[in-house]
Chains A and B, each alone.
Chain A
């Protein structure tokens, strides 16, 4: 890391919300309850695909404690959705996945609501179901959304029947390059459905005021999206819907889209009382917004020295019953499939496909780990086949400053070489196979800092402190503490002088939201702009007060300094209140995407990446050849963060992201059989425990961006991208074979070693060293 001259930004300061969180005083969304609240529950279908013949709620309505029962018959069949408005609150005539909401009940207790759910009679007629996205693509496959033509979708989305979104990127002449290549490698990879694993289930409380104004308290990541989605569903103006976020116990993208807010709002409207809803673990695993399962085919042609001549890739993401974040996730996979490599000829295609399974979402670095698993496993296979060291192969192919990226954009602040070399050094790359059954692996990637605008308000208090109001939610990452550090630095304040207001759509300015590695970056930039506004106003107040010119003033040590005069900010606030109605400042930020070549991209929501970050991971592990069990000894992450606003919480992001990535790599999978989740509980859905996660060593690289506060780049998502590939490559170093299907369970490893598992690439017979 570079020397940091700042006093607050860049320092390892304790987060502002730390004390209440570690002492149990913090109020999370699931803790929040209104006096007199009722409890809501959702009836979910028990079949994956069926026509609804009859839903009879008569008996349920008569049960003790029941105050409201709603089904599709009680509300307009409004369709909503992020990219495609293809969802309704309840199944209207067709059930499309097991877990599909059919009805909701509010009662005086959770138990009463559950008992009433069981009294609802549902008669259905089964329909042939599609669980495999490749089968859904086949000609003659039944259409899962017969009226897909009528759905409203974002204009750039290309749809066709069971394909909810198709995106392409291309450049050069792939066929010609393959024809000239020294070798061409083609592999198929599959990845599994993964839950975002937030500790706190999705929760919401809703209350109506006079029948036309709604307030919802929710642990959503995007309160402004919840507001507009509720406005769609309820047919109300957004200003009549107030969304407040008390606190969020983790989101990781799983709380981006609406969760249970709409059920709570509809139930509360029907019974005229507040309604609280909290999901169960089972609901989380059958009907939340998990990371899509993907099928990736990747074909790469190289010259004799291993230089990439062409790459052709196709990713199929399984959206489940509704498109959710699928079209965007598929699209972003294309940049990941190119990777941080010079690729003169490329042809990439993504297909987001409907099936009769849980609608999926956008879990941390959507599609990043899946695509990286494919690209980086294949890079190692190529290296092994050509007898080139995997690190060396990467160094021959990585992009350099000033190169063009996949959309033809010019890449700046490229640090991938430093990341790779330092990761290799840290893991001890010179000794890549230190013992039989032990191996080291490396993988690298790049990722975007998502755009979108941010606004913040500042209020200067008469004690000299500053209130910061942002529409970005603190998910637990400490990103808001990071933004506050930037703000404090700008205003010569201490971090403790910043008070962060709770997010409330009625009073906080708009923010594109806590997502996409953008929160500290974008809110931090808005804070810089707002600090400039605050300084300007403060100087004007002092100028009026002292009769001195504002343009010679500066802030120093929490005072406005004007020549010999030092006016504390507390005094500025007081003066402003006397004559100016108090001091309120406003700042906004937007990070526009770089210029790119539109001819290379079709139907892509994020055709070019803003302020990309670069990173490399390395692992040292052992494989038990008799059981297939993997033991990771060390794990190293080298991540270019541009500027480390708070190294402690960046390390926290890295450790958490790697843990999630290792879960995806080795153990986590929502397992479906005939449309039913077999492990809809936390006993059999295997997130890694503290004993499964090895010591993680974080090395922060600071290659400053032009766009971020003090040069920062997005931090939050990248750490979960490389773990699957890193682990796969380390296993290959230890065993000579790559398992090409996630999760790489001990069972798959052992069966692959015994040549009993088909989804593996076995180089043991051709091993070179």
Chain B
């Protein structure tokens, strides 16, 4: 619509300009002719028509903007936290993830805030964008119409990792979202700790700054880090042990390895104790300094026993109730 109007006007301007330049260019035997210095009718026409068109464009733009900014009452609510340089999405059941999972064909409302500077959440495919501002909540909504995998970006400049503050929107097939959400939280308990730790590493936003292949990013690589010894920024030497890892997640600025800036946000409240333990297990598994358990199958088997114990609330409730009732 605006595009068509713009193309027409552009063609008109360029067309007239080129015609006049060719027709009235300076050449031998040709002299400028007189023409009126102004023409009220012409000037009124070219003021009024663009004005009307502008009113029309304004009206259409405002109308759809109102629709875009008014979420339906039944929208599914997901909370969003932006911080340098990652996104966290919190679901109603308490699960948090660094990717946005949504059901198809259902309005979704994002309630967003920032922990540090201003970010801006943009999902190009859904044409939605809004600044994520510290100290207040901003809201957007959308309804995905096709299952798939779409990019999600930060578009308000926020420093070193701004262009890596990316995530994905995963739009689930009908029913798929509920299954994903139910499994997501319990999933980790069914895995060996190191594997669960790897999953956490991939989904909790660590990858933005920390590699596992030895290359330094905004933060140090996790490869060969555990049990290694490092100089810190204030000149001390530390050995990376369980307590250091835990401290670095919950109070990142306390002791930073030399060569890196103290820019990591705290994970306090974003990682459960059990998850930190899993991450530590993962760091051990990718460090040549840490003693590797040759019988890693033992560790596996230790755990493979446990899943038999019902962790899932569904399994907990049902088998027990009938038992009790029978005893009575």
Partners in one complex: no
A residues near B (Cβ < 8 Å) are: none
